[in-house]
Amino acid sequence: MKYLRLIPALLLGAMLTACNTTKKLYEAQEYDQVIQRLAPDICDGDMNAKHINMVAASYHKANQADHERIQALKATGQPDVWPEIYQRYCNMKGRNDALKCFPTKVKKGMNYVKLDLDEDMTVARNHAEAFLVAKIDQLLATGTKENGQEAMKYVVQFARTNKDNPNISRFVKRSSLCMGDAVFIGFGNASDFTLPQEFKANVLAFDAGELPTYNTFLTEWDRKLFIMYSVDAVVDEVKISPVRLDEVTFNETNNGKTVDVTDHSQNKSVTVKGHIVMDCASCSLRNEDEPMYLVPFEVKSTFKNDYTTIRGDREACSAETLSRLNTKPVPVPTDESMLMDAARKLNDLIAAELKK
């Protein structure tokens, strides 16, 4: 029985603590936190007059402050104000949405009006994105570590403005490449196919000037350096087609003479599929459960040789057939040589991706 009497006392204490905390938040002008704490309960039917009055006051004061700030920012005419303008419109819309479930009588008593901010938000977001894209590109064009760090701050702001913008991952990648002390480029084979030892060497054999010049790129891990950024090309699948010989035979005639013409085609291909993982462990936008930037790839090495043979009178051949008779069958490349060709193509693809 003693414990049963204790439970209501504990609940009452918790409620008083919560009320006291909310009051302190209101006094500290943390109006959004007040709304976040109390609005769900009012939506669920809690008609505590003090809570309703506190939410109403928080709602109007916060909206008034945002409105005045938006007007002041617009008056400057500066392009860099739009990200903040957009965020303040988002704040106003968020508050409005939080209170729309209130009973009609409560909304009327607190002078709640549904705000139509969609057009204002679209305009603000478009201006904000235009400014952020230009600013980030400007900073990254210098290629310096300091500007890479500064660009990342704007990228974080960009992600808050529109996390679905396709430029976000590209900007994170470029900023990170600038920020690091060095970039490690590695290779891995996750397929069931045993690649030749030279395959990795060909993938990582970058020519002078092939990689961007704004950072140090390493293909061997250097423990003396703080490697902030890593780029790994991982092979997932290797397919080698059997040699195929296609033939088409037809007849040609000329001045009563005939000839059988056969067009031959030698074919073989090697396809290597995988993904490039670009991982920045200390990037603020990185999802802990996923690599920061992933690019699937498919590189192919193809062999195709066409030649023509005849059986019969050569004088019966057309001019086109005669021109093809100079082609001959050639030895089909080995699997290893075609894999090396695919490795060089993957090398070019990695270099191109790092320059984007």
pLDDT in tens, 127-175: 999 999 999 999 998 888 889 889 989 998 998 899 888 888 888 888 8
The Cβ-side half-sphere exposure at 249, using a 13 Å CA radius, reads 6
Beta bridge partners of 310: 261
| Contact of 176 with 228, CB cutoff 8 Å | yes
Residue 262: closest CA among 321, 313, 315, 318: 321
**Which tokens hold the place of 176?**
């990170």
pLDDT in tens, 259-298: 999 999 999 999 999 999 888 765 655 555 555 678 899 9
The DSSP output letter for 176 is H
Please give the distance of CA 228 from its chain centroid, rounded to a whole number: 18
The DSSP output letter for 44 is T
Helix then strand count (H, E) for the chain reads 11, 6
* Band of pLDDT at residue 16, cut at 50, 70 and 90: very low
Give dist(CA 318, CA 28) in Å, integer: 94
The mean of the pLDDT values for the chain is 88
How confident is the model at residue 11, as a pLDDT?
Answer: 41
How confident is the model at residue 350, as a pLDDT?
Answer: 95
- Rounded to an integer, the average pLDDT of 86-107 is 94
Give dist(CA 308, CA 274) in Å, integer: 38
| Contact of 214 with 177, CB cutoff 8 Å | yes
What is the bridge-based pairing of β-strands 293-312 and 257-280? antiparallel
How confident is the model at residue 51, as a pLDDT?
Answer: 92
Give dist(CA 11, CA 316) in Å, integer: 105
| Contact of 161 with 152, CB cutoff 8 Å | no
Q: What is the crossing angle of helices 82-99 and 118-142, to 10°?
A: 140
- Give me the residue label for tokens 């060497």: 201
- What is the residue type of 156? V
Residues 6+ apart with CB under 8 A from 15: none
Cβ count near 216 (within 10 Å): 14
Q: What is the DSSP string of 77-93?
A: --GGGHHHHHHHHHHHH
Instruction: Please provide residue 298's backbone torsions phi and psi, each rounded to the nearest 5 degrees.
Output: -145, 115
**Which tokens hold the place of 121?**
């938000």
Q: Angle at CA 287, nearest 5°, toward 284 and 289?
A: 145
Q: Over 80: is that where the pLDDT of 126 sits?
A: yes
pLDDT in tens, 201-241: 999 999 988 988 877 888 887 777 776 788 999 999 999 99
Region of poorest pLDDT, from 35-44, 51-60, 213-222: 213-222
How confident is the model at residue 94, as a pLDDT?
Answer: 95
Beta bridge partners of 184: 218, 230
Give dist(CA 296, CA 313) in Å, integer: 54
**Which tokens hold the place of 78?**
């500066």
Residues 6+ apart with CB under 8 A from 325: 308, 309, 310, 317
Give dist(CA 85, CA 82) in Å, integer: 5
Burial of 109 (0-12, 13-18, 19+ CB in 10 A): middle
pLDDT in tens, 174-208: 888 888 778 899 999 999 999 999 999 999 999 98
| Contact of 151 with 136, CB cutoff 8 Å | yes
